């Protein structure tokens, strides 16, 4: 019997568990710091995307496999140390994600009212770490910095009316705040051009369908590196540009909210004395070699709330190799590397393996690669010295940890 502990019950961890469970004589414990599984599918995917949320039904089946056991409330690195896990499991597969939002790193970033978009996401998804009163939405102007799919999610959630949110599964406190939101103007800000935006077209189009908001696009900013930018424009960028051009031609309808889509603007400073009051932007342009330069033009937008939607970063776990430059666990095909050499019995999958990009399905292929490496090594792995996870569970109970199972 091969005993494997998977650390993290997001898509990467659970797809890895499913692939391991297909192997006879393998038992898998999936440990998570939270009492409930599914990672960002539960606490990241926007609540108004029920079809994507429903992927948790497929993930649920994995947790229900007799060869797989979910152990919640177990934070590896604090509740339990790596060395303890190595005593009981033949292999550890790390899939603990990289769900910490990056900040802007500009002066004023520390002012109240300036948040990472991930804070807002965690709040509207009801993440246990997000205080109920994190957001009041008393701001009239909001700046969302970054032009990726998370920026689209948070902009849409801010723009929708209470009526548009009626049939969406939301925590009560979130529904109340969204229904009473003072937000009028949402500025979605890209530091490069529309062709470099990271949106996918389906998600971009959806923003234009929000009934509660007019969408305003500065046509001039669309054309700076427009259709003649070269023949090698990726199809998704071309499609995005078509959508943005259609929006630039729209007449405002006097709707309650406005979404201003901006490009070639980067945040320079957040203004405010005791809290955020405005964001100063610097005009940018593409210089030789694809380097982003500044034009010298600046502008200030009124915003009492700023959401930095500029990607995520991974964090190190004690005793586990970590590359601070890339924010991932160094690995070769999923085998953890320390100083370039494979660490026996340690594997990695998902965002903490390859960085914070990719949709849910990307983690299936990724986890598959890691599990193939693990199973190829299985014969040569040194057996864990104690190899009795039940003893570990008793030790955790003794320390006062209430391990959550699922379904419970
Ligand atoms: C806001 C947002 C919205 C998204 N929306 C979509 C979408 O609509 N469609 C789509 O296809 N993709 C979407 N994605 C991308 C998708 O969510 C990711 O590709 C995927 O969740 C990454 O999987 P993961 O398992 O690597 O990490 P995660 O999903 O983050 O799972 C990591 C798990 O590890 C646990 N963990 C962390 N630290 C520890 C520890 N020390 N000990 C134990 N457990 C730990 C966490 O609690 C979590 O359960 C979205 C991403 C974000 C950020
Ligand atoms: N519905 C979905 O399928 C869905 C929903 C949400 C998330 N996701 C996926 O989850 C992953 C993470 O999404 P994400 O939106 O967080 O990240 P992302 O796609 O990497 O986008 C990050 C954005 O932030 C910008 N940025 C980075 N640093 C900046 C700075 N200092 N100042 C200004 N702008 C800055 C980037 O611009 P540059 O390009 O110039 O660096 C980019 O526009 C993606 O793979 C995404 O597709 C999918």
Strand 100-101 to strand 312-313: parallel, antiparallel, or no bridges (unpaired)?
antiparallel
What's the 390 CA to ligand 2 centre distance in angstroms? 42
The residues facing 141 across adjacent strands are: 185
> Does residue 45 have its Cβ closer than 6 Å to ligand 1?
yes
Quick check: 4 and 346 in contact, CB under 8 A?
A: no
- The tens place of each residue's pLDDT in the chain, 408 residues long, gives 999 999 999 999 999 999 999 999 999 999 999 999 999 999 999 999 999 999 999 999 999 999 999 999 999 999 999 999 999 999 999 999 998 999 999 999 999 999 999 999 999 999 999 999 999 999 999 999 999 999 999 999 999 999 999 999 999 999 999 999 999 999 999 999 999 999 999 999 999 999 999 999 999 999 886 445 666 889 999 999 999 999 999 999 999 999 999 999 999 999 999 999 999 999 999 998 889 999 999 999 999 999 999 999 999 999 999 999 999 999 999 999 999 999 999 999 999 999 999 999 999 999 999 999 999 999 999 999 999 999 999 999 999 999 999 886
Q: By alpha-carbon position, which residue is closest to atom 8 of ligand 1?
A: 45
Tokens at 328, concatenated: 């991932």
Which letter does DSSP use for residue 224 in this model? T
pTM of this structure: 0.97
Residue of 204, 211, 221 lying closest to 253 (CA atoms)? 211
**Distance of alpha carbon 222 from the chain centroid:** 27
Q: Is the CB of 39 under 6 A from ligand 1?
A: yes
Neighbours of 112 (CB within 10 A): 11
What domains can be seen in the chain, in order of their start residue? 2-99+314-398 (3.40.50.720), 100-308 (3.50.50.60)
C-alpha 218/C-alpha 208 separation (Å) is 15
Residue 249 Cα to ligand 1 midpoint, Å, equals 37
């Amino acid at each position: 019997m091969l005993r494997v502990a998977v650390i993290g019950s997001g898509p990467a961890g659970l797809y890895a568990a499913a692939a391991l469970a297909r192997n006879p004589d393998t038992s898998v414990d999936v440990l998570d710091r939270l009492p409930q599984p599914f990672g960002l599918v539960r606490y990241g995917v926007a609540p108004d995307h029920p079809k994507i949320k429903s992927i948790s039904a497929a993930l649920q089946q994995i947790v229900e496999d007799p060869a797989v056991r979910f152990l919640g409330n177990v934070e590896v690195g604090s509740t339990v140390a790596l060395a303890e896990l190595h005593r009981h499991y033949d292999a550890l597969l790390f899939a603990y994600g990289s769900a910490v939002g990056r900040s802007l790193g500009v002066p004023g970033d520390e002012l109240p009212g300036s948040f990472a978009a991930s804070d807002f996401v965690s709040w509207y998804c009801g993440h246990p770490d997000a205080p109920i009163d994190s957001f009041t939405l008393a701001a009239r102007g909001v700046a969302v910095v970054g032009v990726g799919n998370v920026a689209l999610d948070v902009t849409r959630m801010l723009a929708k009316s209470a009526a548009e949110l009626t049939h969406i599964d939301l925590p009560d406190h979130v529904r109340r705040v969204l229904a009473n939101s003072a937000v009028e103007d949402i500025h979605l800000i890209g530091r490069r051009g529309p062709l470099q935006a990271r949106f996918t077209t389906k998600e971009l189009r959806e923003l234009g369908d929000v009934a509660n908001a007019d969408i305003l696009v500065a046509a001039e900013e669309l054309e700076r590196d427009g259709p003649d930018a070269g023949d090698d424009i990726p199809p998704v960028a071309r499609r995005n540009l078509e959508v943005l051009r259609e929006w630039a031609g729209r007449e405002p309808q006097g709707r309650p909210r406005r979404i201003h889509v901006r490009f070639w603007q980067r945040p320079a400073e957040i203004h405010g004395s005791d809290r955020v009051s405005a964001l100063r932007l610097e005009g940018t342009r593409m210089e030789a070699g694809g380097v982003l330069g500044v034009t010298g033009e600046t502008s200030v937008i009124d915003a009492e709330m700023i959401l930095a939607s500029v990607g995520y970063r991974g964090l190190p776990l004690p005793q586990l190799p970590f590359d601070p430059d890339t924010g991932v666990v160094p690995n070769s095909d999923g085998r953890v590397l320390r100083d370039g050499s494979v660490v026996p019995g340690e594997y990695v999958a998902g965002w903490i393996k390859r960085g914070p990009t990719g949709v849910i399905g990307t983690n299936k292929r990724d986890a598959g690669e890691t599990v193939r490496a693990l199973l190829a090594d299985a014969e040569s792995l040194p057996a864990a010295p104690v190899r009795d996870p039940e003893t570990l569970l008793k030790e955790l109970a003794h320390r006062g940890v209430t391990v959550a199972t699922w379904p419970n």
